[in-house]
Amino acid sequence: MTWSRDEMAARAAAELTDGQHVNLGIGIPTLITGHLRDRAIMLHSENGIMGLGGYPLPGDEDADIINAGKETATTVAGSSFFDSAMSFAMIRGGHIEVAILGAMQVSVAGDLANWTDDGARVKGMGGAMDLSVGAKKVIAVMTHRTREGQLKLVRECSLPITARAAVSTVITDIGVFDVREDHFRLREIAPGVPALDPELSRMLRPGR
Amino acid sequence: MSKIAESAGAAVADITDGRTIAIGGFGLCGTPSALIEALLQSGATDLHIITNNCGPDSSDVTRLLRAGRVRRVSASYIGDNSEFLNSYLGGAITVDLIPQGTLAEKLRSGGAGIPAFYTPTGVGTAVAQGGIPVRYGSGSGFAAEYSAPRHVAEFDGREYLLERSLTADFALVRAETADTIGNLRFRGAARNFNPLCAMAARVAIVEVQEVVEAGGIPPDDVHLPGVFISRVVDLGGRMRKPIERLRTTDPVPAGGGSHGL
């Protein structure tokens, strides 16, 4: 068995410490919100909110309060609104303790690729490059293989990168991996996952 | 001294062909749709649009693209908009892809009289090294022009790259409330790029839900001082506020609280 998307989100939520300011990327990271009830965590939304809440109740939707994924959202007590330059001052200035981002590839050195699927079909980096250099700690959340079966934990990224040596921990459907410069350390394996793929096992050892 | 324009059409009437226009908003949120509609009606073409993203295919900015009125777009994100993507890949428009925080700072610093700045964002990537396709050959599928490499310098042992600031001929922005001399108050996350676009422009035009007399917004509550604003268009409570992705939640059972510090 592997972890579901929601189980990966729950596992990522367990990496957070109360009192932190945290930015959640689009995709699986968005699901983490559902695992933060009663946690003393302030969520930052790049479009200008500190203190993002969950989705509104039916009838309470407000077009002026949306998250970075353009979904209707709410705010919590103590929240604030600000412009995009202030928002990225928080990010780039090192005031956001943790960013949890989706990823297409993460290398043993912590290089992150998540802004374009190849060189020709560019979708734009949005706030991903700022978040990955600016947050004090970057956690990547992704399935460990692409739909086509390619490993997304890699020695070196083949996709255009978002930032070098940015990621410290990768939460996948098969377990939790810490980035150790020239290898991954398997910190935790999802219950019932059989022996690791030999190619991935080789990346758990230093060197090539 | 009043900056109230007669209409949205009158406010954009001097935007001529070839101009650079900074447009506020994040997707559909805070986007000045009445002013964009007026620009569409005005016929101005060959425009360079600076905006964070063009919103979904249904957005007002996309209508400008579809009408062939846009030569160049400077933005951080193309996703969720097939018209924008196809115009780019088909070679119909030139696109500068800029990290979102860098784009925000380019506008802020452009409006603040600072011509360039160093940032850590993009170091070691194609942003620093150059090579991001800027323009595709018409129908060829191959890039005809690439982004230029950035100057990289080291400060206190860390690498940064040099980015040029942006200015614009005009800004089209949206706020919730203006007074007659252009002091603005925004609402919620609709603030986003709006103050920054206004700062970066020679002529900033704002559409608002309501106009109050000067002094009607207490000085401490002014988010953007009127010195940055040239013209105010009063929508008189008829502002359209579409929602891009409507999501709601089921009522939380008793005992389930919300998070926050």
Q: Is residue B251 part of a domain?
A: no
Structure tokens that stand for A14 in this block? 């367990």
pLDDT score at B253: 53
Instruction: Report the percent of chain B where pLDDT is more than 70.
Output: 96
What phi and psi, each to the nearest 5 degrees, are found at residue A129?
A: -70, -40
Our count of domains for chain B comes to: 1
Which H or E run contains A12? Answer: helix A5-13
Q: Is residue B50 part of a domain?
A: yes
Residue A155's pLDDT band (boundaries 50, 70, 90)? very high
Whether A83 sits inside 8 A of B193 (CB atoms) is yes
Tell me whether residue A71 is one of the annotated catalytic residues. no
CB-based contact B89:B141 (threshold 8 Å): yes
Q: Is residue B25 part of a domain?
A: yes
Residue B140's pLDDT band (boundaries 50, 70, 90)? confident
How confident is the model over B69-102, as pLDDT tens digits? 999 999 999 988 999 999 999 999 999 999 999 9
Average pLDDT, chain A: 94
Q: Is residue B137 part of a domain?
A: no
How confident is the model over B183-231, as pLDDT tens digits? 999 999 999 999 999 999 999 999 999 999 999 999 999 999 999 999 9
Q: Which of A7, A15, A46, A188 is the catalytic position?
A: A46
Average pLDDT, chain B: 94
Residue A96 structural domain: 5-201
How confident is the model over B9-46, as pLDDT tens digits? 999 999 999 999 999 999 999 999 999 999 999 999 99
CA B158 to chain CA centroid, nearest Å: 30
Q: Rounded mean pLDDT of B52-76?
A: 95
Residue A120's pLDDT band (boundaries 50, 70, 90)? low
CB-based contact B87:B80 (threshold 8 Å): no
Which pTM was predicted? 0.96
Q: Does residue A169 surpass a pLDDT of 50? A: yes
Residue from A38, A67, A125 to probe the interface with B (highest B Cβ count within 10 Å): A125
pLDDT score at B33: 97
CATH of the domain at A22: 3.40.1080.10
Q: Rounded mean pLDDT of B107-125?
A: 98
Higher pLDDT, A26 or B154: B154
C-alpha distances out from residue A3 to A9, A31, A190, B244, Å:
9, 14, 6, 31
Q: Does residue B251 surpass a pLDDT of 50? A: yes
How confident is the model over A83-114, as pLDDT tens digits? 999 999 999 999 999 999 999 999 999 999 99
Our count of domains for chain A comes to: 1
d(CA B26, CA B97): 15
SS3 sequence of chain B: CCCECCCHHHHCCCCCCCCEEEECCECCECCCHHHHHHHHHHCCCCEEEECCECCCCCCHHHHHHHCCCEEEEEECECCCCHHHHHHHHCCCCEEEECCHHHHHHHHHHHHCCCCEEEECCCCCCHHHHCCCEEEECCCCCCEEEECCCCCEEEECCEEEEEEECCCEEEEEEEEEEEECCCCEECCHHHCCCHHHHHHHEEEEEEEEEEEECCCCCCHHHCCECHHHCCEEEECCCCCCCCCCECCCCCCCCCCCCCCCC
Residue B23 structural domain: 1-117+165-235
How confident is the model over A1-11, as pLDDT tens digits? 899 999 999 99
Residue B241's pLDDT band (boundaries 50, 70, 90)? very high
Residue B256's pLDDT band (boundaries 50, 70, 90)? very low
- Give me the helices (H) in A27-168, please: 84-92, 128-134
Q: Does residue A118 surpass a pLDDT of 80? A: no
Q: Is residue B123 part of a domain?
A: no
Q: Is residue A207 part of a domain?
A: no
pLDDT score at B255: 43
pLDDT score at A37: 84
CATH of the domain at B27: 3.40.1080.10
d(CA A126, CA A162): 11
Structure tokens that stand for A60 in this block? 């309470």
Q: Does residue A18 surpass a pLDDT of 60? A: yes
Q: Of B100, B143, B260, which is closest to A51 when you measure between CB atoms?
A: B260
Whether B53 sits inside 8 A of A120 (CB atoms) is no
pLDDT score at A61: 96
Q: Rounded mean pLDDT of A68-86?
A: 96
Q: Is residue A185 part of a domain?
A: yes
Residue A121's pLDDT band (boundaries 50, 70, 90)? low
> What is the ipTM for the molecules in this complex?
0.95
Q: How many CB pairs under 8 A join A and B?
A: 208
Q: Helices B100-111 and A84-92 meet at what angle, rounded to 10? A: 120
Q: Which residue has the tokens 């839900």?
A: B209
Q: Give B-chain residues touching A125 at CB under 8 angstroms.
A: 76-77, 97, 99-100, 127
d(CA B60, CA B239): 14
A163 in contact with B, Cβ within 8 Å: yes
For residue B94, the tally of other CB atoms under 10 A from its CB is 19
B79 in contact with A, Cβ within 8 Å: yes
pLDDT score at B37: 97
Q: Is residue B72 part of a domain?
A: yes
What phi and psi, each to the nearest 5 degrees, are found at residue A77?
A: -60, 135
Residue B259's pLDDT band (boundaries 50, 70, 90)? low
How confident is the model over A30-48, as pLDDT tens digits? 899 889 988 999 999 999 9
Q: How far apart are the first and last CA of chain B?
A: 45
B45 in contact with A, Cβ within 8 Å: no
Q: How far apart are the first and last CA of chain A?
A: 29
Q: Is residue B142 part of a domain?
A: no
Residue B261's pLDDT band (boundaries 50, 70, 90)? low
